Amino acid sequence: MTSSPSQASVGAPAEPSLVFEPGPQGALRLRLFGRLDVQTTGRIWRDAIARVDQDAPRRLVLDATQIAYCDGAGLGLLLGLRAHQRQHGREFELEGLRSDLEQLLHLYDPDARLAGTARRGQPLGFVARTGQAAIELGASTRQLVAFVGELTAALVWAVRHPRRVRRADLLLVAERAGAEALPLVLLVGFLMGLILAFQSAVQLKRFAAEIFVADAVGISLARELGALMTAIILAGRTGSAFAAEIGTMKVNEEVDALTTMGLAPVSFLVVTRVVAAVAVTPLLSLFFDLAGVVGALVVMTSLGYPPVAFWNRLIYAVTLRDILGGLVKAFTYGILVAAVGCLRGLQTGKGASAVGASATSAVVSGIVLIAFASGVFSVVFYVLGL
């Protein structure tokens, strides 16, 4: 029968002691008294093991009713005696241990950990997997809705109080997400324009209509590809960086420290990153379009068309409505990339691989959201006749 902590400590000596009592049918009863801590457990451990080796009982009963205190060393003694008995093919029984010490012993017990691991490793049935997936989907949806609400409220607050936004952090994030990404955007844009122009010219050459390459490249870049490719570059570069930065802070418990100090993580960490990404994405999209036009111009010049002819055709084909439509898409893509990167960072778990998993999830989620938003924009623009 388990005794209460007050009952266990009444009359128990501060220094630990042990008493051996013979039991029936070759059993040995060991009663422990006092405090079992790191300073005193060593002597008790040696005496107990020596006596058990001497008597070699078929069954060892350890009475822990009178243990007043027990730390990790004392729990190690209990587990060590059990392991010693099992090693020699003999029985062991522990009785009278307080409930709080039983819970602590369960954490130290390797058998309990192995049993838990075995249970976790067992394959789940179809119904269990379906239920688990539904629970995870519901939790993810709840977190997403809560994050969107907090971010919207924080952005509204930032618009109403622009002077209270940390401008130094905003400029730093804008530099990293925008200025440092510009060489990559220009390179990819130039190659994309060059490839589009070359492939279009090969097909249009059959009809002696290579001049219409300017129409195809200009409209494609301005309306769709400029914003789309820029957003994908930012998802792989900036979105993953946001997730890794905030994820590292989450692993190091810095996000919890902000919450403890009364600072909302969304307002303190997410707002500046989202605002900076929204500001630089349309600009990077314009630079992508410009680089793509230069790439197409190189192809057209190599085909014998003068740059003036290409430029005149480009101005005729591409309208301001096309450019504004691409900027609206870039603006939306910037919000999606930055928000999902920060969300995955805040959802980072524990462990060495958690940050990498968050960065990977940010890239994948960002690209999926960009593709979904692109499809929605296509349908909306078609319905509106834009």
pLDDT score of 9: 38
Q: Please, which residues have CB within 8 angstroms of residue 110's CB and are 6 or more apart in sequence?
A: 79
pLDDT score of 118: 45
pLDDT score of 2: 35
Instruction: Return the CATH architecture of domain 5-121.
Output: 2-Layer Sandwich (3.30)
Residues in the chain predicted with pLDDT less than 50, given as ranges, are: 1-13, 115-119, 121
pLDDT score of 122: 56
pLDDT score of 6: 36
- Domain ranges in the chain are 5-121, 165-384
pLDDT score of 204: 79
pLDDT score of 110: 66
The span from the CA of 233 to the CA of 284, in Å, is 10
Predicted TM-score (pTM) of this structure = 0.64
| Tens-place pLDDT, residues 217-248 | 888 888 888 889 999 999 888 888 888 888 88
